[in-house]
Amino acid sequence: MGRVIGGIGCSHSPALAGIHDSGKRHLPPWQSIFAGFDAAKEWLSAARPDLLIVCYNDHLNHFFFDSYPTFALGVADSFPLADEGRPTRAFAPLPGRADLGWQIARSLVAQEFDITICQEMPLDHGVLSPLPLLTGSPWPVPILPLAVNVVQHPLPTARRCLRLGQAIRQAVAELDDAIRVVVIGTGGLSHQLHGPDFGQVNPAWDLEFLDRLGPDPDGLAALDHGAFMRRGGAEAVEMIIWLIMRGALATQIREIHRTYATPALTGLAVCVLQNS
Ligand code: FE
């Protein structure tokens, strides 16, 4: 019997990768968010997870508009880095656990979540921007990637994401072995990268979302996509991915850490939630 021990919500802005790789993380506008990732990394290391379920979205680097799955689970022992049209970062392929992936996939389908199962799934910055900040590399923990469609309408509802998280919690509980799982949800927070509102962020909405994530996930799940987009910008609809992470946790949770910053173009956050 496995157990979800906690969750991490974080942004996956490509800027995090760029600043990290160029060694500029200690510059003033970026210092605080990287310190936040350091705190989350410390918690994660102490939590000693056996598996990280990483919920993210692919940015048309693996899935394309001709066939974009609503939810896609990567079930493999290794995941290559996606070609994002720029030099590939200097990381090894990410380790997976196909055996655990199949067990979780079977449980999700039995719970009537008919996910797409991918035995080959290159991963883009939705995973690769934050993961090195949370675990370091070489990769210490295998991952189970779950890609969510927040790109091509119709998108899954926020409520569906919360319920998928609850199904993941059940699937982990049904695992054969005593596996310790941390669920990570990446995306957002507020940002819009096109049109007249390019570059706008909305810290008030971002902080409200962070405040409500623990005590009021049902209230957040009741919001439609337009509500997320009007408040946080079109691409901020990625925030529904965090609700999968939240749904995988217990009703009562404790916020262990939170950092929020707006260094450029995007509201950036990292928070750690632990079952109480
Ligand atoms: Fe994104």
Band the pLDDT of 259: cuts 50, 70, 90: very high
Average pLDDT over every residue of 257-272? 96
Whole-prediction pTM: 0.98
Q: What is the pLDDT of residues 114-127, one digit of tens each?
A: 999 999 999 999 99
**What is the distance between the alpha carbons of residues 210 and 219, in angstroms, rounded to a whole number?**
12
Would the pLDDT of 189 be above 90? Answer: yes
Please give the pLDDT value at position 19.
Answer: 96
Q: How far is the CA of 126 from the centre of ligand 1 (A)?
A: 6
Among residues 206, 186, 49, the alpha carbon closest in space to that of 130 is found at 186
Query: Cβ(126)–Cβ(186) under 8 Å?
Result: yes
Query: Cβ(117)–Cβ(25) under 8 Å?
Result: no
Distances from the Cα of 40 to the Cα of 4, 26, 29, 77, 263, angstroms: 16, 17, 19, 25, 19
Q: Where are the domains of the chain?
A: 3-81+91-275
- List the catalytic residues: 125, 191
**What is the distance between the alpha carbons of residues 99 and 77, in angstroms, rounded to a whole number?**
8
Mean pLDDT rounded to a whole number for the chain:
96
Q: How far is the CA of 61 from the centre of ligand 1 (A)?
A: 11
Q: What is the pLDDT of residues 43-97, one digit of tens each?
A: 999 999 999 999 999 999 999 999 999 999 999 999 999 999 988 899 999 999 9
Q: How far is the CA of 60 from the centre of ligand 1 (A)?
A: 10
From the CB of residue 1, how many other CB atoms can be counted at a distance below 10 Å? 10
- Token output for 211: 């405040």
Q: How far is the CA of 46 from the centre of ligand 1 (A)?
A: 28
Please give the pLDDT value at position 276.
Answer: 83
Q: How far is the CA of 35 from the centre of ligand 1 (A)?
A: 21
Please give the pLDDT value at position 54.
Answer: 98
Please give the pLDDT value at position 196.
Answer: 86
User: What is the CATH architecture assignment of 3-81+91-275?
Assistant: 3-Layer(aba) Sandwich (3.40)
Band the pLDDT of 264: cuts 50, 70, 90: confident
**What is the distance between the alpha carbons of residues 53 and 92, in angstroms, rounded to a whole number?**
18
Q: What is the pLDDT of residues 125-178, one digit of tens each?
A: 999 999 999 999 999 999 999 999 999 999 999 999 999 999 999 999 999 999
